[in-house]
Structure 1
Amino acid sequence: MKNSIAERVNDFIKNYPPFNFIKPESLLEISKQVSIIYLDKGDTLFKKGDHYNEHFYMTRNGAITLYHTSINNTLEIINISDGGDVFGLRPLIAKENYKLTAIANEESIVYAIPIDAFQLITQKNARVQKFLITAFATNTYDPYTAEEAGKIFVDYLPNNNQDMVNFQTANYSKNPITCPLTSTVKEAAIIMSKHRIGCIIVVNENNHPSGIITNSDIKNKIATGRYPIETLVTKIMSSPVITSSKGITVAEGQLQMIKHNIGHLCITKDGTINSKLIGVLTHHDVLVSLGNNPSVILKEIKRAKRTRELRAARLKAETLIKSYIEQSIPISHIFKIMAQINDAVTHRAVKIAIKKMPSKPPVAFVWMSLGSQGRKEQLLFTDQDNAIIFEDVKEGIYDETKAYFLDLAKLVTKSLNKIGFEYCEADMMASNAEWCKSLTEWKSQFNEWILNPDEKAMLLSSIFFDFSPTYGDDSLTLKLSESIYDTLDKTQLFFKFLGRDALKNPSPLTFFKQFVLEKNGDQKDLFNIKSRALMPLIDAARVLTLTNRIKGVNSTYERFEKLAELEPNNKELYESCSYAFKALSKFKTKQGILHNNTGKFIELSTLNKEEQLKLRRCFKPINEIQESLILRFDLKNFG
């Protein structure tokens, strides 16, 4: 049985990045130098302005909250580091005083990893460096302050126009075509022709790269007559070659090519010319990688003329999500990127559908995205929720006008279905005559829901009160919003119903602190993270947003952040809810990617203890916000 402290430390940290990227023997050397820190709830590990320590940290047990000190000297939550999370990375990346404050959220055990020992072992480990810089950038700035909003990636990562694609590991050719030093140019050219490639790597007897010959070399040095075709490759090859290790990122590869004015980079086992050749990164590989970024995807969407082209572009976005999740890019950033892509896909689908119609739209209209897309929270493919508002027309041409938009909606929803967005089982789509109406009819509909609330109205409110314009005349949605808020001023009963509806999914844990699992059907014994954890937060944010007359803020986490500004007394609760929503959304997305589904239902046996602990930690704000709703809307004895 293991009993040394170093071995116990090693057994824990080896399961988490970046330590899982380190060779076992090297990791044990680091573990021997790790210090163990015990903290009581409220203890401060370091605070803003402190001189940097010679360590960075990993949470072993408990939780460490990282705070930013705002302009008015109040602490605002940036992140909560649970078991396995690293933090306090500033001394590792930039020798500057701390910008954040770290306080124990509860009794905690923290590992302090010595920076010098760590860097000595990992300085050439590209995967470790990439992870640490990304993790550092993620928590560098305060996401709640307007003056620093959007700067998260400015100093240490590429700008938002290129997003995070530059920081992805480059995809290079894994089976490079080579020839020995004793080959003639003719022999090399025959090999290149056979494999239809533009370059060949010249290697020595140990398969170390010695030089490279490209099509340009053959054209400029052989075809011009400078050298005969039987010349040895050593006479015309470019040497020495530029090399890198297999963990090279797209940005690093691009910089190397620009710096050395080359189009090919040799990938070797240890990154030097004195080790085995394992691959070749070409300028074309870099361009392909750069093509899979939001800017390029959006351009492809705008140029698309057919549904299959839209589907291809949207599928690229699925790859982006996976890459972003793997590299710990903040979920708020992913939300914003995907909201742009999803809206662009829908916008283009409507535009293509209009061209298929026998005539142009008879009057102004707007296509509204509802539900998760309306909240700008749709990541993986889900079902459709949408509606159409068209301009008021005279009674005599109303039926004809509505028929036009229903036909248009059928084309759009069919296209979205082919792209990957399933039809809504409840038929909450613009192709349903009930959800394709004139502005006046929509005003009447919302008035009915608000002034005469019942179970059906609450069900529909969870979908239709989260709307955003995606194509057409935005002024129609603005007029509808104004009408909704005017009507809300006339009643308090609706808020009680909405508040009660937000309580329909109680605590995700039983009285004995066990997860509440599904009891019937195909999902029996699975945990429904959407209905049990995410929806209570979504519903609470919606009713509180409507109560506070907050306009133009649709996403759940941003709604809570706005509420934190408006209600300082509940600031900590709202910020905790925002954080919990983002953490749960990321968890659901990771599960969806892992199991190739929506991630809605989770088999708890597949989660390790640390993952279950992180889930449980997100449930506390759910209980607290629901208790708050009960008090605010006096729901204890309601209904």
Structure 2
Amino acid sequence: MKNPIAERIADFLRNHPPFMSLGLEELIIISNHSQVVYLEKNQVLFKFDDQPHSYFYVVRDGAVGLSITADEKELLIDECDEGDIIGIRPFFAKDNYLMNAVAREESLLYAIPIAFFEKYVFANVAVSKFLLESFASNTRNPYNDEDKGKLATENIRYHNDENVFQYFKPIKHTENPITATKNATVKEIAEVMVKYKIGSIIIEKNQLPIGIITDKDLRYKIATGIFSIDDTADCIMSKPVITVGANNSVAEVQLQMMQLGIGHLCVTSDGTPQSKIIGIISEHDVFTSQANNPGVLLKQTKRAKNAEELKSIRKNLTHLIQNALNENIPIAHISKIVAEINTVITKRAIDLAITKMDQKPPADFAWINIGSQGRKEQLLMTDQDNALLFADVSPDNYDGVKNYFLQLAFYVTEMLSTVGYELCPAEMMASNTLWCKSVTEWKRQYDSWINNPGIEGILMCSIFFDYDFVYGTKELVDDITITILKNIENNQVFFAYLGADALKNLPPLGFFKNFIIEKDGEHKDNFDVKGRGLMPLIDAARLLCLSNKITGANNTILRYKELSALEPQNAAIYDACAEAFSILQKFRTKEGFASNSGGRYLDLSKLSKLDKLKLKNAFNPINDVQEIIRTRFQLTYFT
């Protein structure tokens, strides 16, 4: 007898991926095993850290919000509506849900049993690919052009490449695995596993795999009394051994383990059982291969208990950056991820520092990053630049409040130093009394910089216009922004000085289009990519955004995009500047990793002809944007 409910479910599913890749008869069978779930508005489907359900869900009608809790606030990450899939995590990960799923209106969902649907996943390449890409990017529908590239992790959306490259890169395997022969006793094998603290051992003959024994075999075959510990390995080993080659991706390995219901794969020289054993891959290897996943790093950061744990996270972040560069992920996307994790590391350091203090903060305060951190462009482990603002207090309480925040800032900067962010040699840090001030003092400071902009003052203050709110009371920072905008109104003198500073570094090519290199000193004959390439673009973007009163865009690339939208007549120049900045930043980042330095100086002799051409082409927009500055601020004679 026909089931009209199942037919309605199948008729709906056939119009949405990945179900459209299945035949109608298959969909009818799946629908017969599915359930209809009704959710009232605000009803919870599952919560963060809940154990995985035995079903995954497809939204039929209504809307279900996906959210996380951060800083005691509920943050909506995504909203799933008709045809969107929710809760596929149990297919791929054996841990709990990472988000809350709550109905935002009355909703109908189709609940499809995971155990039953698995066979269709493994039998249909299109279905498995869809679900893998959805899981790898945390995207509800990776084939939806409207949402293409939206990646929901802990508290931010990223372009899907940032996470997918982690998931589809080659997995690292354990080399030189411990092996035994089939005549070894179970007791001997167990003793070896205990000695080397391993969960499996490959049984070999002439260096070829013939079986494998795991903890599971010992539990189910020995502990239950089915076999004796004096029996030989060939009695309890699992066979045949499933083998793979050395270059399989994380996704391929995880899918194969799921399909076969196993937790270990033997790596052989050509991927077959007829070749030499060279390694082993366990479920633990799959997990650790994803340890540099941005969402995982964010989660670990929020749970870190000390500076050493934060240091380990920052080390993993460095690996993530290197992998991203190797995979040619756009530098702008890498910067977004790194900036978010750097910010969360700083937030956690402040939380830990407050815990270390004898009392809670005596007044509202705000921590800001300045310079490259404020612009969210710190990819390398360079020094830290930050400042602290605290709310105005009575004169009687001022000294005590300021001393508290200086001590707090000292703990934070020292902790960040342990993590790997070196202390600023110029002491432009919140632990310096000069950069730990009340809001009124900061207003006076900016008033002085803007209205008395002697060239020395400009050199000092320019990075303080690249600030990013990190922690505390944002309204304090907003108050400073209002003060800045008020003071720069029609302030021709200020813009003249800032313009002159922006023009101090001309395009770094000589008359014959040769690179202008350092003439002497430690870096003689090297090219200063930061000072001669990046800084002119940074300075120009800062100046032009200030003059246009563009707020909330401190990142250089984002600044040029804002300028491009605001001034269509100059859009081509600003877009070229953004692209040039990306190219130069990538050169610097690669050099920093290669030489374990700040990446500022390039040895041109080591660059290929093509790289030199890319570098030269990146300098062309500098001349164009500087010409805009000369004309706009009438600096022909000033400079």
Range of TM-score over shorter length: 0.7 to 0.9
Q: Deviations over 1:29-54 (max 9, x none)?
A: xxxxxxxxxxxxxxxxxxxxxxxxxx
Question: What secondary structure does 1:192 align onto?
Answer: helix
Correspondence 1:257 to 2:249: no
Distance (Å, rounded) in 1 between the aligned partners of 2:248 and 2:480: 51
Q: Which amino acid aligns with 2:510?
A: T
Q: Which residue of 2 aligns with 1:169?
A: 170
Cα gap change, 1:563/1:227 in structure 2, threshold over 3 Å: closer, same or farther? Answer: same
Q: Which residue of 1 aligns with 2:248?
A: 248
Distance (Å, rounded) in 1 between the aligned partners of 2:612 and 2:480: 43
Q: Which residue of 1 aligns with 2:503?
A: 503
Q: Which amino acid aligns with 2:578?
A: S
Asked if the contact 2:162–2:329 (Cα under 8 Å) also holds between the matched residues in 1, the reply is no
Correspondence 1:389 to 2:389: yes
Cα gap change, 1:318/1:161 in structure 2, threshold over 3 Å: closer, same or farther? Answer: closer
Asked if the contact 1:268–1:275 (Cα under 8 Å) also holds between the matched residues in 2, the reply is yes
- What is the 5 A alignment of 1:2-81? none
Distance (Å, rounded) in 1 between the aligned partners of 2:467 and 2:387: 9
Q: Deviations over 1:167-207 (max 9, x none)?
A: 332121111222345555455445434533221222343x3
Q: Which amino acid aligns with 1:257?
A: M
Q: Which residue of 2 aligns with 1:238?
A: 238
Cα gap change, 1:191/1:391 in structure 2, threshold over 3 Å: closer, same or farther? Answer: closer
Q: Which amino acid aligns with 1:613?
A: L
Distance (Å, rounded) in 1 between the aligned partners of 2:463 and 2:165: 32
Fraction of identical pairs, as percent: 48
Asked if the contact 2:354–2:360 (Cα under 8 Å) also holds between the matched residues in 1, the reply is yes
Distance (Å, rounded) in 2 between the aligned partners of 1:410 and 1:186: 56
Distance (Å, rounded) in 1 between the aligned partners of 2:558 and 2:260: 45
Cα gap change, 1:163/1:386 in structure 2, threshold over 3 Å: closer, same or farther? Answer: farther
Which stretch of structure 1 is more off in the superposition, 528-537 or 308-317?
Answer: 308-317
Unaligned runs of 5+ residues in structure 2 are 1-132, 138-144
Correspondence 1:192 to 2:193: yes
Distance (Å, rounded) in 1 between the aligned partners of 2:165 and 2:360: 40
Q: Which amino acid aligns with 1:501?
A: D
Please state how far the C-alpha of 1:493 moved relative to its aligned partner: 2.3
Please state how far the C-alpha of 1:231 moved relative to its aligned partner: 4.4
Q: Which residue of 2 aligns with 1:121?
A: none
Please state how far the C-alpha of 1:465 moved relative to its aligned partner: 0.1
Cα gap change, 1:431/1:153 in structure 2, threshold over 3 Å: closer, same or farther? Answer: closer
- What is the 5 A alignment of 1:239-318? 239-318=239-318
Distance (Å, rounded) in 2 between the aligned partners of 1:148 and 1:575: 24
What's the TM-score, normalizing by structure 1?
Answer: 0.73
Q: Which residue of 2 aligns with 1:409?
A: 409
Distance (Å, rounded) in 1 between the aligned partners of 2:417 and 2:305: 16
Please state how far the C-alpha of 1:357 moved relative to its aligned partner: 2.2
Q: Deviations over 1:448-481 (max 9, x none)?
A: 2222221122112321000011111011111111
Distance (Å, rounded) in 2 between the aligned partners of 1:451 and 1:570: 29
Cα gap change, 1:186/1:410 in structure 2, threshold over 3 Å: closer, same or farther? Answer: closer
Question: What secondary structure does 2:240 align onto?
Answer: coil
Distance (Å, rounded) in 1 between the aligned partners of 2:147 and 2:577: 21
Q: Which residue of 1 aligns with 2:364?
A: 364
Distance (Å, rounded) in 1 between the aligned partners of 2:611 and 2:262: 45
Asked if the contact 1:368–1:468 (Cα under 8 Å) also holds between the matched residues in 2, the reply is yes
Distance (Å, rounded) in 2 between the aligned partners of 1:190 and 1:445: 70
Distance (Å, rounded) in 2 between the aligned partners of 1:181 and 1:475: 71
Correspondence 1:421 to 2:421: yes
Cα gap change, 1:391/1:238 in structure 2, threshold over 3 Å: closer, same or farther? Answer: same
Asked if the contact 2:525–2:603 (Cα under 8 Å) also holds between the matched residues in 1, the reply is yes
Q: Which amino acid aligns with 1:611?
A: D
Matched positions, count: 495
Please state how far the C-alpha of 1:484 moved relative to its aligned partner: 0.9
Q: Which residue of 2 aligns with 1:111?
A: none
Q: Which residue of 2 aligns with 1:83?
A: none
- What is the 5 A alignment of 1:197-596? 197-205=198-206, 207-229=207-229, 231-596=231-596
Please state how far the C-alpha of 1:371 moved relative to its aligned partner: 0.4
Unaligned runs of 5+ residues in structure 1 are 1-133, 139-145
Asked if the contact 1:163–1:294 (Cα under 8 Å) also holds between the matched residues in 2, the reply is no
Asked if the contact 1:163–1:293 (Cα under 8 Å) also holds between the matched residues in 2, the reply is no
Q: Which amino acid aligns with 1:282?
A: S
Q: Which amino acid aligns with 1:192?
A: M
Asked if the contact 1:158–1:166 (Cα under 8 Å) also holds between the matched residues in 2, the reply is no
Q: Which amino acid aligns with 2:196?
A: H
Question: What secondary structure does 1:319 align onto?
Answer: helix
Distance (Å, rounded) in 1 between the aligned partners of 2:480 and 2:146: 32
Distance (Å, rounded) in 1 between the aligned partners of 2:205 and 2:478: 70
Distance (Å, rounded) in 1 between the aligned partners of 2:573 and 2:495: 20
Asked if the contact 1:573–1:621 (Cα under 8 Å) also holds between the matched residues in 2, the reply is yes
Q: Deviations over 1:249-293 (max 9, x none)?
A: 222222221221111011122223333221111011112222232
Q: Which amino acid aligns with 1:246?
A: A
Asked if the contact 1:170–1:247 (Cα under 8 Å) also holds between the matched residues in 2, the reply is yes
- What is the 5 A alignment of 1:605-616? 605-616=605-616
Please state how far the C-alpha of 1:228 moved relative to its aligned partner: 4.4
Question: What secondary structure does 1:523 align onto?
Answer: coil
